[in-house]
Amino acid sequence: MFYYVYILQSIKDKSFYIGYTSDLRKRLKKHNSGNNLATKPYIPYKLIFYEAFQNRIDAKNREEYLKGGYGRKTIKTLLSKFLNNT
Protein backbone atom coordinates (compact mmCIF):
# COMPACT_ATOMS: atom_id res chain seq x y z
CA MET A 1 0.00 0.00 0.00
CA PHE A 2 1.18 3.49 -0.81
CA TYR A 3 0.50 6.73 1.04
CA TYR A 4 0.32 9.96 -0.89
CA VAL A 5 1.18 13.50 0.08
CA TYR A 6 -0.75 15.83 -2.18
CA ILE A 7 -1.19 19.49 -2.97
CA LEU A 8 -4.50 20.78 -4.21
CA GLN A 9 -5.11 24.21 -5.66
CA SER A 10 -8.47 25.90 -5.43
CA ILE A 11 -9.78 26.89 -8.84
CA LYS A 12 -11.89 29.50 -7.05
CA ASP A 13 -9.12 31.52 -5.36
CA LYS A 14 -5.80 29.76 -6.19
CA SER A 15 -5.19 28.82 -2.52
CA PHE A 16 -3.41 25.56 -1.64
CA TYR A 17 -4.35 22.60 0.52
CA ILE A 18 -1.77 20.02 1.58
CA GLY A 19 -2.71 16.61 2.93
CA TYR A 20 -1.92 12.90 2.88
CA THR A 21 -4.01 9.80 2.20
CA SER A 22 -3.85 6.17 1.14
CA ASP A 23 -6.49 6.69 -1.58
CA LEU A 24 -5.74 9.79 -3.62
CA ARG A 25 -8.70 9.60 -6.03
CA LYS A 26 -11.22 9.07 -3.24
CA ARG A 27 -9.72 11.91 -1.18
CA LEU A 28 -9.86 14.37 -4.09
CA LYS A 29 -13.52 13.48 -4.65
CA LYS A 30 -14.23 14.08 -0.94
CA HIS A 31 -12.59 17.50 -1.06
CA ASN A 32 -14.56 18.51 -4.16
CA SER A 33 -17.87 17.20 -2.80
CA GLY A 34 -17.69 19.55 0.19
CA ASN A 35 -17.28 16.81 2.82
CA ASN A 36 -14.20 18.48 4.30
CA LEU A 37 -14.99 21.59 6.36
CA ALA A 38 -11.49 23.05 5.89
CA THR A 39 -11.73 23.02 2.10
CA LYS A 40 -15.47 23.37 1.48
CA PRO A 41 -15.48 27.20 1.03
CA TYR A 42 -12.83 26.98 -1.70
CA ILE A 43 -14.11 24.17 -3.95
CA PRO A 44 -13.51 23.08 -6.65
CA TYR A 45 -9.91 21.88 -6.36
CA LYS A 46 -7.46 20.43 -8.83
CA LEU A 47 -4.57 18.14 -7.98
CA ILE A 48 -1.30 19.87 -8.83
CA PHE A 49 1.31 17.67 -7.09
CA TYR A 50 1.69 14.38 -5.25
CA GLU A 51 4.41 12.10 -3.89
CA ALA A 52 4.07 8.42 -2.98
CA PHE A 53 5.49 6.78 0.15
CA GLN A 54 5.47 3.16 1.28
CA ASN A 55 5.19 4.17 4.93
CA ARG A 56 2.39 6.22 6.53
CA ILE A 57 4.73 7.92 9.01
CA ASP A 58 7.04 9.09 6.22
CA ALA A 59 4.05 10.54 4.36
CA LYS A 60 2.79 12.30 7.50
CA ASN A 61 6.25 13.76 8.16
CA ARG A 62 6.46 15.05 4.58
CA GLU A 63 3.00 16.61 4.88
CA GLU A 64 4.02 18.41 8.08
CA TYR A 65 7.24 19.63 6.43
CA LEU A 66 5.39 21.00 3.40
CA LYS A 67 2.96 22.85 5.66
CA GLY A 68 5.85 24.65 7.39
CA GLY A 69 7.94 27.63 6.30
CA TYR A 70 10.73 25.72 4.54
CA GLY A 71 8.14 23.43 3.01
CA ARG A 72 6.32 26.36 1.44
CA LYS A 73 9.61 27.45 -0.09
CA THR A 74 10.13 23.90 -1.36
CA ILE A 75 6.68 23.96 -2.98
CA LYS A 76 7.46 27.24 -4.72
CA THR A 77 10.71 25.75 -6.05
CA LEU A 78 9.17 22.43 -7.14
CA LEU A 79 6.23 24.06 -8.84
CA SER A 80 7.83 27.31 -10.04
CA LYS A 81 7.00 26.81 -13.73
CA PHE A 82 3.43 25.74 -12.96
CA LEU A 83 2.84 28.63 -10.54
CA ASN A 84 4.23 31.17 -12.99
CA ASN A 85 1.87 29.95 -15.73
CA THR A 86 -1.35 30.09 -13.67
The residues spanned by each domain of the chain are 3-85
Check residue 83 and give its pLDDT: 81
Tell which wins on pLDDT, 62 or 36: 62
Is residue 7 within 8 Å of residue 39, measured between CB atoms?
no
What is the C-alpha to C-alpha distance for residues 58 and 46, in angstroms, rounded to an integer?
24
Q: What CATH number belongs to 3-85?
A: 3.40.1440
Length of the chain: 86
Check residue 86 and give its pLDDT: 62
Read off the pLDDT of each residue in 24-41 and give the average, rounded to a whole number. 93
Is residue 64 within 8 Å of residue 21, measured between CB atoms?
no
pLDDT at 81 over 90: no
Q: What is the pTM of this model?
A: 0.90
Check residue 80 and give its pLDDT: 87
Read off the pLDDT of each residue in 49-56 and give the average, rounded to a whole number. 97
What are the φ/ψ torsions at residue 38 (nearest 5 degrees)?
A: -70, -30
**3-state SS assignment for residue 4:** strand
